[in-house]
């Protein structure tokens, strides 16, 4: 319970950074979110014009180099690593720790929820086809290996492992504390932040950099989600395609990018006179243990995660002033998330504003939760809630009867905000944040 | 600024955590027993690869898991789901089933008709995993339907029709969290669940996190460990790109991997799964199970080596030393109290030297007297599975008070106590299991005899 935690066990946020489809300057991204701006457009990275879904929320024109001090260490950085470097460096700069000569860098850890690298698609395909024995319907491995040695790129392949953004960020920040990457699908970066909080509470590190980085906007990533029928197919109108909680929603929209926070104990932050932007009060984590594809029909895993987070925060549901929804825009998620919130919050559910920024930036998959948590901090700071766009009165879903902050940002005093992330495979994670302690 | 705050264990708030079940799937077979027999007999299971023709690769040997399929061990009701399992997932399923049985638990997955012996909401699951490669025959069959008249791949044709050749749930075979997903479904674990993906450190970090989950009372029991198979075309290619594989011993595979030996020339591919059952001492006592050991210390640390881009380990092994020191501190023991170590011991010279430097910096002269033991010469590098397999063997060593045979080390580097030796009795009170990973993550775990 938070009231019993000492200042050494209370965890605060002292740095934030992001790279998103709406930009990579936190304040500008926030202003665009409050303005209800969609970043969803036809895909430019490859020719997706024949795909059943042709659009996404892409990060365009981004360069990681201006953010880093040691560009020579990242020459081979893949897309996820480059996003992580930009967001991580921003957060680190905001924390002021770079100029803290007293910092013990072996007590600074990193916990990321980053995805697998983006596939070197055309070389990969060419290699596979060169190794294909059509008569036997199988790969001739020796022939394949020869083709691979000619086609494939060593560093592109090494960057595929999901711990590479972590490797780059550690090399950039020169930190040697506890280091993890978790990949629990769409819940990954929320879980990373939650586990980083636990590491700090226990005193296993002084500072943790936590967040996620991911893109699946590549031909096979799109293919995988299209085959799952998870993506919106509203090719004629990408900007309105992401419709969380709307009765006409037809799937989520892929986004890409990274969100990062710097976490430390309240005692550590105060000792060094750091500016504090918020406190992480509660974390809950559960598994559906139900099915590979579907959420539990009573949303038992989501309910458990939300309840555990409230209990960890020492709060009653009525204390929560804002919920940043997982809100993907799939038929199932939005209905089950609404069910879970209703079950936990009871009569208060209708009074809590809930919004999904995925309506504007798409679904950053492993990185989604980290960016969403940052928006909760900014919502508390400014007393403004970002909207769920593309919600029309004549398209209300009776399964989703709550207040989703439709279309326009709203002024609201927020003392406590809750952020949900639910992953394919049934991993559920919830974080609760509060305004900076007085 | 080093702040040594008292941790939960030191303040007595922590719960004791036991290892009560071991489950391994390795080249030696399913379950800890065949692996234990092989290592006690000094019998390497590394062979020429049979699953595919390895002749196009410089390294052609591996610790391959043969004659194992998940459909042999899952109940009938779950057999349809095996179609959705990449090899990594199948290995995790095998390890989970073996661990449940070894711990004398009854789960809905192991004995569907009997009453279960643990509560779902108090059971967590942390299974480390790696990048899972798509099965190429299935994918390439689909890709081949999207070629133009010249035989070149046509992305337009792929988008219009080719992709429909893939089964709708294709993506779900390859998400790393599907190892945990299937295990949580089959064995009904509704507590905290995570998928740590830090190459070879994934398993020990998952075990460490499970320890923390139980210590903080978020669960009473966890399935913890990791599983991985890179024994496929892309896995082989990527491992060759890391330049860590032994390429000079294709004709004598059982001699190929030589941890800490002056003649070490690289490691061998392996595949495997290792899951242990971690349980709070009070719940384990309540059901009257005899633990293998108590898990008393855990630490993690990152190697940041400024010569970025090279992927060479830091020659001083600083991240690993950080992890080991943290684990010793939590265990509240002196370095000299460690009676056995199971380090990464891959047989990759630069990694071996870095690891030796890390151990030397922590243990000093005491290191010379502590036996080091590595499973890599027997089963190869099982990546995310390897650390949990090492921990399982260390736990078994504590129970048996015996160190299995050590092979392939005729000239130990740096005076390490790891020379070739027969299996023999040893008094083991404390054992250290540690791992370093490609990408710089390190983890250390300390076990104590109960």
CA-to-CA separations, B353 to A220, B42, B99, B257, B268, in angstroms, rounded: 40, 24, 34, 15, 18
Asked if the Cβ–Cβ distance from A148 to B216 is below 8 Å, we say: no
pLDDT at B11 over 60: no
| Residues A14 and A276: beta-carbon distance below 8 Å | yes
**Sign of the dihedral through C-alpha A213, A218, A221, A222:** positive
Q: Give the chain B residue whose CA is nearest to the CA of A162.
A: B197
- pLDDT tens string A338-389: 999 999 999 999 999 999 999 999 999 999 999 999 999 999 999 999 999 9
Question: pLDDT digits over B361-407, tens only?
Answer: 999 999 999 999 999 999 999 999 999 999 999 999 999 999 999 99
Give yes or no for a contact between B109 and B100, defined as CB atoms under 8 angstroms apart: yes
Residue A438: band (very low, low, confident or very high) from pLDDT cuts 50, 70, 90: confident
- Long-range Cβ pairs for the range A146-154 (8 Å, 24+): A146/B56, A148/B233, A148/B237, A151/A123, A151/A126, A151/A127, A152/A120, A152/A123, A152/A124, A152/A127, A152/B237, A153/A120, A153/A123, A154/B241
Of A125, A129, A163, nearest to B197 by CB-CB distance is A163
Instruction: Please judge whether B131 and A162 are an interchain contact, meaning their C-beta atoms are less than 8 angstroms apart.
Output: yes
Distance between CA A201 and CA A203 in Å, rounded? 5
| Token digits of residue B338 | 């460690």
Contacts of A167 in chain B (CB under 8 A): 439-440
Spatial distance between the Cα atoms of B389 and B405, rounded to a whole number of angstroms: 16
Residue A214 backbone phi and psi in degrees, to 5? -165, 145
Residue B314 has what DSSP assignment?
P
CA separation, residue A323 to residues A85, A243, B113, B118 (Å): 28, 17, 42, 34
Query: Do the Cβ atoms of B441 and A137 come within 8 Å?
Result: no
Give Cα B249 to chain centroid, integer Å: 24
Rounded to whole angstroms, the Cα distance separating B187 from B183 reads 6
Instruction: Give the residue from B183, B194, B212, B330 with the most A CB atoms within 10 Å of its CB, the best one to mutate.
Output: B194
* Mean pLDDT, residues A159-171: 96
Q: What digits encode the pLDDT tens for the residues A234-287?
A: 999 999 999 999 999 999 999 999 999 999 999 999 999 999 999 999 999 999
Other Cβ atoms within 10 Å of B99 Cβ, number: 32
With a cut of 70, say whether residue B9 has pLDDT above it: no
Q: Using the beta-carbon criterion (under 8 Å), do B153 and A122 form an inter-chain contact?
A: yes
Contact A182 B194 (CB under 8 A): yes
List, as ranges, residues 9-48 from B with C-beta within 8 Å of A.
none
Residues A87 and A193 sit within 8 Å (Cβ to Cβ): no
Are A163 and B189 in contact (CB < 8 Å)?
no
Q: What residues does each domain of chain A span? A: 11-119+160-434, 121-155
Q: Could you read off the pLDDT of B312-370 as tens digits, one per residue? A: 889 999 999 999 999 999 999 999 999 999 999 999 999 999 999 999 999 999 999 99
Q: Which of A186, A214, A268, A277 is catalytic?
A: A186
Of A277, A326, A376, A400, the active-site residue reads A326
What's the complex ipTM?
Answer: 0.97
User: Which one of A206, A293, A304 has the shortest CB-CB distance to B121?
Assistant: A304
Three-state secondary-structure class, residue B58: coil
Q: Residues B17, B294: contact at Cβ < 8 Å?
A: yes
Residues 6+ positions from A135 with CB-CB distance below 8 Å: none
Rounded CA gap, B242 and A212, in Å?
25
User: Are the C-beta atoms of A383 and A414 separated by less than 8 Å?
Assistant: yes
| Chain A interface includes B350 (CB < 8 A) | no
Which of A51, A170, A288 lies at the smallest CB-CB distance from B304? A170
Domain range A11-119+160-434, CATH class:
alpha beta
Contact A289 B54 (CB under 8 A): no
Closest by CA position to A174, among listed B4, B308, B309, B355: B308
Hey, what CATH class is B17-133+174-448 in? alpha beta
**Which residue pairs from A340-347 have beta carbons closer than 8 angstroms and sit at least 24 positions apart in sequence?**
A340/A299, A340/A302, A340/A303, A340/A306, A340/A420, A341/A306, A341/A402, A342/A402, A343/A298, A343/A299, A343/A303, A344/A303, A344/A306, A344/A307, A344/A310, A344/A317, A345/A317, A345/A320, A346/A317
- What pLDDT is attached to residue B14? 77
Percent of chain A exceeding pLDDT 90 equals 96
Residue B172 is nearest to which of A198, A268, A424, comparing CB atoms? A424
pLDDT at B300 over 90: yes
Structure tokens at A261: 């926070």
Closest CA to A221 of A48, A83, A39: A48
Say which residue the tokens 């090719």 belong to: A235
Two tokens at A418? 């809750």
Q: What is the pLDDT of residue B445?
A: 98
Q: Are strands B47-48 and B61-63 parallel, antiparallel or unpaired?
A: antiparallel
Alpha carbons B256 and B269: distance in angstroms, whole number? 11
3-state helix, strand, coil in chain A (%, to 5): 40, 20, 40
Catalytic residue flag (residue A363)? yes
**Which residue from B189, B377, B359, B217 is spatially nearest to B275, judged by alpha carbons?**
B189
For the full predicted model, state whether its pTM sits above 0.95.
yes
């Amino acid at each position: 319970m938070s009231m019993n935690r000492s200042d050494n066990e209370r965890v605060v946020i002292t740095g934030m950074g992001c790279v998103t489809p709406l930009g990579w300057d936190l304040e500008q991204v926030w202003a665009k979110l409050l303005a209800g701006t969609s970043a969803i457009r036809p895909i430019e990275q490859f020719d997706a014009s024949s795909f059943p879904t042709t659009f996404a929320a892409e990060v365009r024109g981004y360069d990681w180099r201006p953010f880093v001090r040691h560009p020579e260490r990242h020459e081979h950085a893949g897309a996820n690593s480059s996003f992580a470097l930009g967001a991580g460096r921003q957060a680190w700069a905001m924390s002021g720790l770079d100029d803290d000569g007293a910092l013990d860098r072996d007590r600074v850890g990193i916990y990321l929820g980053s995805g697998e690298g983006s596939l070197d698609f055309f070389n990969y395909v060419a290699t596979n086809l060169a190794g294909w024995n059509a008569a036997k319907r199988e790969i001739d491995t020796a022939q394949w290996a020869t083709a691979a040695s000619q086609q494939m790129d060593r560093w592109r392949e090494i960057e595929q492992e999901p711990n590479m953004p972590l490797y780059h960020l550690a090399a950039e920040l020169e930190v040697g504390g506890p280091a993890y990457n978790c990949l629990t699908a769409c819940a990954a970066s929320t879980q990373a932040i939650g586990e980083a909080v636990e590491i700090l509470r226990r005193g296993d590190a002084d500072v943790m950099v936590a967040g996620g980085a991911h893109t699946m906007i590549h031909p096979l990533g799109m293919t995988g989600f299209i085959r799952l029928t998870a993506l919106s197919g509203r090719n004629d109108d990408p900007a309105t395609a992401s419709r969380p909680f709307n009765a006409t929603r037809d799937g989520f929209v892929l986004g890409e990018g990274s969100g990062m926070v710097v976490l430390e104990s309240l005692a550590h932050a105060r000792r060094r006179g750091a500016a504090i932007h918020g406190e992480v009060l509660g974390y809950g984590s559960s598994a559906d243990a139900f099915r590979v594809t579907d959420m539990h029909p009573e949303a038992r895993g989501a309910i458990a995660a939300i309840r555990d987070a409230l209990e960890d925060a020492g709060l009653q549901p009525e204390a929560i002033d804002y919920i940043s929804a997982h809100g993907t825009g799939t038929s199932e998620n939005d209905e089950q998330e609404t069910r879970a919130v209703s079950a936990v919050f009871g009569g208060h559910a209708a009074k809590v504003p809930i919004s999904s920024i995925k309506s504007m930036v798409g679904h950053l998959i492993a990185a989604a939760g980290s960016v969403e948590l940052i928006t909760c901090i900014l919502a508390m700071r400014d007393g403004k809630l970002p909207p769920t766009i593309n919600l029309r009165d004549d398209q209300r879903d009776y399964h989703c009867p709550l207040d989703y902050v439709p279309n326009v940002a709203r002024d609201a005093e927020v003392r406590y905000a809750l952020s949900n992330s639910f992953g394919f495979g049934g991993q559920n994670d919830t974080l609760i944040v509060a305004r900076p302690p007085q | 600024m080093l702040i040594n705050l008292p941790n939960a264990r030191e303040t007595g708030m922590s719960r004791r955590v036991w290892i009560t079940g071991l489950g391994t799937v390795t080249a030696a077979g399913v379950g800890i027993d065949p692996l234990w027999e092989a290592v006690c007999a000094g019998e390497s299971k590394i062979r020429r690869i049979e699953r595919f023709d390895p002749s196009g690769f410089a390294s052609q040997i591996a610790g391959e898991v043969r004659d194992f399929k998940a459909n042999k061990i899952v109940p009938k009701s779950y057999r349809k789901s095996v179609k959705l399992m990449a090899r990594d997932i199948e290995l995790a399923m095998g390890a989970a089933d073996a661990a449940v049985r070894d711990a004398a638990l009854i789960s809905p997955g192991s004995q569907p008709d009997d009453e279960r012996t643990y509560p779902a909401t108090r059971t967590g699951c942390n299974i480390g995993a790696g990048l899972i490669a798509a099965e190429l025959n299935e994918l390439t069959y689909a890709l081949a339907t999207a070629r133009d008249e010249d035989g070149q791949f046509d992305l337009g044709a792929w988008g219009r029709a080719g992709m429909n050749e893939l089964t709708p749930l294709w993506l779900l075979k390859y998400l790393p969290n599907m190892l945990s997903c299937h295990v949580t479904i089959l064995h009904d674990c509704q507590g905290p669940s995570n998928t740590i993906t830090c190459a070879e450190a994934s398993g020990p970090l998952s075990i460490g996190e499970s320890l923390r989950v139980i210590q903080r009372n978020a669960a009473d029991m966890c399935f913890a460990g990791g599983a991985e198979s890179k024994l496929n075309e892309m896995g082989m290619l990527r491992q060759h790109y890391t330049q860590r594989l032994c390429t000079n011993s294709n004709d004598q595979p059982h001699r190929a991997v030589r941890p800490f030996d002056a003649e070490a020339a690289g490691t061998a591919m392996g595949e495997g799964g290792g899951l242990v059952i971690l349980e709070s001492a009070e719940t384990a006592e309540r059901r009257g199970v005899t633990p293998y050991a108590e898990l008393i210390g855990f630490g993690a640390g990152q190697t940041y080596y400024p010569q970025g881009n090279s992927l060479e380990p830091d020659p001083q092994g600083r991240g690993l030393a950080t992890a080991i020191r943290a684990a010793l501190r939590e265990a509240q023991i002196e370095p000299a109290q460690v009676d056995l170590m199971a380090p990464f011991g891959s047989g990759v010279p630069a990694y071996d030297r870095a690891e030796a430097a890390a151990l030397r910096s922590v243990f000093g002269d005491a290191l010379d007297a502590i036996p080091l033991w590595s499973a890599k010469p027997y089963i190869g590098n099982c990546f995310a599975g390897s650390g949990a397999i090492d921990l399982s063997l260390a736990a078994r060593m504590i129970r048996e008070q015996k160190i299995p045979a050590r092979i392939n080390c005729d000239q130990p580097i740096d005076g390490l106590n790891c020379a070739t030796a027969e299996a023999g009795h040893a008094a083991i009170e404390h054992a250290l299991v540690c791992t370093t990973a490609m990408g710089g993550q390190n983890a250390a775990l300390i076990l104590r005899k109960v």
